[in-house]
Chains A and B, each alone.
Chain A
Amino acid sequence: MARYIGRRLIVLVPVVWLVFTLVFSILHILPGDPVQLMLAGAEAGVSSPERMAQLRKSMGLDQPLYIQYGGFILHAVRGDLGESIRFQSPVNRLVLTAASQTLQLSVAGLAAALTIGLPLGIIAALNENRWIDTTATLIALLGVSMPLFWLGQLLILGVAIHLRWLPAISGEQLRGIVLPAFTLGFVSAGLISRLMRASLAEVLHSDYIRTALAKGLRKRAIVMRHAIKNALIPVVTVVGLQFGGMLSGAVVTETVFSRPGLGSLVVKGILWHDYPLIQGTVLFIAISYVLVNLLVDLAYARLDPRIDYT
């Protein structure tokens, strides 16, 4: 196992290096003078030549490109992501605060996805090709076809404005996370239910389930004790990948519900031309995503003894 982990980490090195390079190049592909653009966007006024020169110097933009590149990677590896122009504070502090918000939202979103997706998939598999199965398929289709921001708006309209059950804007209280979590989790709920259905249906048609039936065990006990456990294995991988994908869905969800977080930080950064903020946040999200996917792979290798990881 240790060797397997080691090999996976080595393969990641070039990928991570390319990620750093891509993020570094954002600022340098940009048409025009980045300093002028950043100051116009972030400080929203006419910028004096002194301020421009000062920013150019503090960001190291007056240095040759290869020194900037090396400096960017060295600093980022040590966790120094530079300073946000708009917020006038270190990007890594902003990113970490936002990350805890996004983590809460992602966990809640995943919980929503599992609460809806797993039972729906199980019920569908137990009622293959009946109306409830068709309904589950339809819900999955709705999930992948619906714009997230629109789902959020519909929930605000229905649940928050008409029914007055939950707040439309998520504040400090726990109730505020319910609608964003449902919005974020809905797409995954559909995918999880489809996968759970397929996986459970396959298990239910297998020989050892027939043996258990022949032995005279009750169907309920068989499903609960034998089938679901085995059917869950392929679902776990997808759940892990979905969790990583929630980092992307959070961008829209956080904007719809005016929640602070990594997603809204990137969006603000782009709208304000705050390039250190964009680069730092994007880098953080990408590296977290890569690590989450690695952990999912490792967890999968542990869960399913049939996978040979030598």
Chain B
Amino acid sequence: MQATIDRPIELRGGRRGLAAVWRVFRRNRGAVAGLFLLAAWVMAAVLASRIAPYDPLALTGASRQAPSSLHLMGTDLLGRDMLSRIFFGARISLSIGLISVTIGLGTGGLLGLLAGYYRGRVDGAIMRLVDALLAFPGLLLALMVIAALRPGLVNVMVAVGVSSVPLYARLVRGSSLSIREQEYVQAAKALGASDRRVMFRHVLPNLVGPIIVLSTLQVGSAILIGSALSYLGMGAQPPTPEWGLMTVDGQAYLSSAWWISTFPGLAIFSVVIGFNLVGDGLRAALDPRAVHRQADL
């Protein structure tokens, strides 16, 4: 009985929906450009060990060599090849983005789902906690987590993930409050479906659109916050080829060796712009109601 209510609708709606989303998305020039940009960076990250001309940690030339045919983006302070370090840096930045978003979505989404579904005291307690987390503006919440866990790359992922928990909790709670009143949810409950089944089979699937939009944009902002933390000395430690950390080396030599901080910065910028373009495109295609977000960096 339940199977006939659940499945056919979801499957058919899902496929037809996907084609429609793609039709709208494809017509958005910015979004398609963003998709190509991201595809290029994913390739760079996956193939880094094949396409990088040098070992990212090896001293392959003199210190601070200007871009040339030997080193397309020049060399850094120690004489390591910038281009190779940037290719390998893509692995780190994309991992920071994806893992921290997974942490934020998992924790925040679950909190929001519980708050919206059970309402009452559960809702009150969870939302007060979310309000308290929101009292630490943007980067500060991540910094506080770093202060408690001590600096490091893995802790950056946790910190950035935690700082996006309030966003997901609010989004999921808001939507599930209205979804739980829908007739099909009532029907599922009347048929004796458990709370867990109703939450994960009936409420959550209807939130996929806004969650995908928010997560795409969040990956971009997670990469921004993550690189800022490394820039501040809270994240990746030398000699890791992390983009934010690489710009620190160049800052003292801006006048004589501009390439050391310019190229890693450009790399961060282009990845983030890719996620923002794709996210905006998905929002237009998937979620007519605008997802509000605050950019802190």
Contact = CB atoms under 8 A, between A and B. Distances in A.
Interface of A: 14-16, 18-19, 22-23, 25-27, 29-31, 141-150, 153-154, 156-157, 161, 187, 191, 241, 244-245, 247-249, 251-252, 255-256, 266-267, 269-271, 275, 278, 282, 285-287, 289-290
Nearest to A143: B295
Contacts of A26: 144, 147-148
The 7 closest A-B pairs by CB, nearest first: A150-B265, A18-B132, A248-B138, A248-B137, A145-B273, A144-B295, A29-B148
B276 A145 contact: yes
Binding site secondary structure of chain B: helix
Interface of B: 128-129, 131-133, 135-140, 143-144, 146-151, 220-221, 224, 227-228, 231-234, 244, 247, 250-251, 254-255, 258, 261-262, 265-266, 268-269, 272-273, 276-277, 294-297
26 contacts: A15-B131, A18-B131, A22-B132, A23-B144, A25-B148, A30-B148, A142-B273, A145-B220, A145-B272, A146-B269, A147-B247, A147-B297, A148-B297, A153-B250, A153-B254, A153-B262, A157-B258, A157-B262, A187-B295, A244-B137, A245-B138, A245-B296, A249-B139, A267-B233, A270-B234, A289-B135
B228 A270 contact: no
Contacts of B272: 144-147
A251 B265 contact: no
Contact of A153 (B143, B144, B247, B297): B247
Contact of A271 (B138, B233, B269, B277): B233
Given A147-B268, A154-B265, A248 B139 contact: yes
A249 B261 contact: no
Contacts of A271: 151, 233
Contacts of B137: 244-245, 247-248, 285-286, 289
Nearest to A279: B147
B231 A252 contact: yes
B244 to A, nearest CB: 7
Most buried by A among B247, B268, B296: B296
B251 A153 contact: yes
A266 B233 CA distance: 12
Given A26-B148, A249-B297, A286-B140, A150 B247 contact: yes
A250 B254 CA distance: 22
Contacts of B262: 153-154, 157
Given A149-B265, A150-B265, 15 more contacts: A15-B135, A19-B136, A29-B148, A145-B224, A147-B228, A149-B247, A150-B269, A153-B251, A241-B294, A247-B140, A248-B297, A251-B139, A251-B140, A270-B143, A270-B151
A271 to B, nearest CB: 6
A18 B135 CA distance: 10
Given A141-B276, A147-B228, A153 B265 contact: yes
A146 B234 CA distance: 19
Nearest to A148: B297
B146 A147 contact: no
B67 to A, nearest CB: 15
Given A145-B220, A248-B296, A150 B140 contact: no
A262 to B, nearest CB: 9
Given A150-B261, A153-B254, A247-B137, A19 B132 contact: yes
Most buried by A among B128, B231, B233: B231
Contacts of B224: 145, 147
Given A23-B144, A30-B148, A270-B143, A141 B295 contact: no
Nearest to B258: A157
B241 to A, nearest CB: 16
A142 B143 CA distance: 25
Contacts of B139: 248-249, 251-252
B232 A267 contact: yes
A154 B254 CA distance: 9
B227 A31 contact: no
Contacts of B131: 15, 18
Contacts of A269: 147
A245 B134 CA distance: 11
Contacts of A266: 140, 143
Contact of B294 (A22, A161, A245): A245
B232 A251 contact: yes
A189 to B, nearest CB: 11
Given A153-B247, A241-B294, A248-B140, A147 B269 contact: yes
A252 B203 CA distance: 40
Contacts of A255: 231-232
Contacts of B149: 29-31
A86 B154 CA distance: 27
A187 B266 CA distance: 17
